[in-house]
Amino acid sequence: MASRLPDILTIDWPKNATSPTPAAQLALKRAVQLVRSGGLVALPTETVYGLATDALDSESVDRIFQAKGRPATNPLIVHVADKEMAKTLAADWPDTADAIASHFWPGPATIVVPKKKIVPDNVTAGGSTVALRCPDHRIMQWIINQSGYPLAAPSANRSESLSPTCASHVLESLRHRVDLILDGGQCVHGIESTVIDCTATPFHILRPGPIDREHLESILGETVTVNAQSIDMHQTQTRSPGLHARHYAPKTPLEL
């Protein structure tokens, strides 16, 4: 982990251009090199800024937990370029997973499926399932495609603090614990992805997000439950540790 503050590189990528400007491409290249050598890069997605590294390298993944101060019991979402990359990590790819990916990817839908051995145990907090998502953001997609790796990328903030929706939030929260920050402007959604457990029926929403239950049901043609309401807290914590009662803890005092 570096001891000095990270560079913040602005990614200038005009809306209608298929590729970023040459200067931005240099910045992206640096990010790819860092990810390939086990570094931590903060970058925008359509939900919030993520703290990304090679998901298939357990030492790199360990660095994410250290930088965030995240408990080892809280698994990470793995970001993929497309369905094909997702299938290289999934021991089983149920029809539901396929339907959700076909309809909502790229987008804020995270799919939980049984994991293959190549996914390191620390990514899944020792569990047998892995959470997969294909983000709808050109910068994140570029880094995944150019590095060739699926990327573990939880929100780029210290654990239990608010998720960052711009580059300056990342710097305030992580400081020297991140190697490089790519500034791609404000995130579109500003809240984390919907997490859907596809390993059991009825399908459960483990974490509510931008895609709601009604929308999922209309696409799947099946009942979808929201786990936090349908099962006891002990089980919820086991199935999706990010739903711990204390998870997002703003520090600003509130007066009613």
Q: Which of residues 8-27 bind ligand AMP (CB under 6 A)?
A: none
Q: Which of residues 99-118 bind ligand AMP (CB under 6 A)?
A: 112
**C-alpha 246, offset from chain centre:** 19
Kindly tell me which residue out of 60, 110, 124, 155 binds Mg ion, with binding defined by CB under 5 A: 155
Q: Is 155 in the site for ligand AMP (CB under 6 A)?
A: yes
CB of 97 vs ligand AMP, minimal distance in Å? 13
With a CB cutoff of 8 Å and minimum separation 6, the contacts of 159 are 68, 69, 70, 71, 74
Instruction: Tell me which stretch binds ligand AMP (CB under 6 A): 18-26, 37-45, 135-143, 234-242.
Output: 234-242
With a CB cutoff of 8 Å and minimum separation 6, the contacts of 68 are 51, 154, 157, 158, 159, 174, 177
With a CB cutoff of 8 Å and minimum separation 6, the contacts of 174 are 42, 51, 67, 68, 156, 157, 158
Q: In what order do the strands lie in the sheet with 77-79?
A: 7-10, 180-183, 41-44, 49-54, 151-152, 77-79, 129-133, 109-114, 194-197, 203-207, 224-226
Q: Is 240 in the site for ligand AMP (CB under 6 A)?
A: yes
Question: 77 contacts which partner out of Mg ion, ligand AMP, none, CB within 5 to 8 A by kind?
Answer: ligand AMP
Using the minimum distance from each CB to ligand AMP, give the nearer residue, 24 or 196. Answer: 196
Residue type present at position 243: L
Q: Which of residues 49-88 bind ligand AMP (CB under 6 A)?
A: 74-77
Using the minimum distance from each CB to ligand AMP, give the nearer residue, 106 or 241. Answer: 241
Question: 207 contacts which partner out of ligand AMP, Mg ion, none, CB within 5 to 8 A by kind?
Answer: ligand AMP
Q: Round the CA-based radius of gyration of the chain to a whole number and report it.
A: 17
Name the β-bridge partners of 181. 8, 42
Using the minimum distance from each CB to ligand AMP, give the nearer residue, 24 or 76. Answer: 76
Tell me which residues touch Mg ion (CB under 5 A).
Answer: 155
Interacting residues with ligand AMP (CB under 6 A): 74-77, 112, 124, 127, 129-131, 154-155, 192, 195, 206-207, 239-243
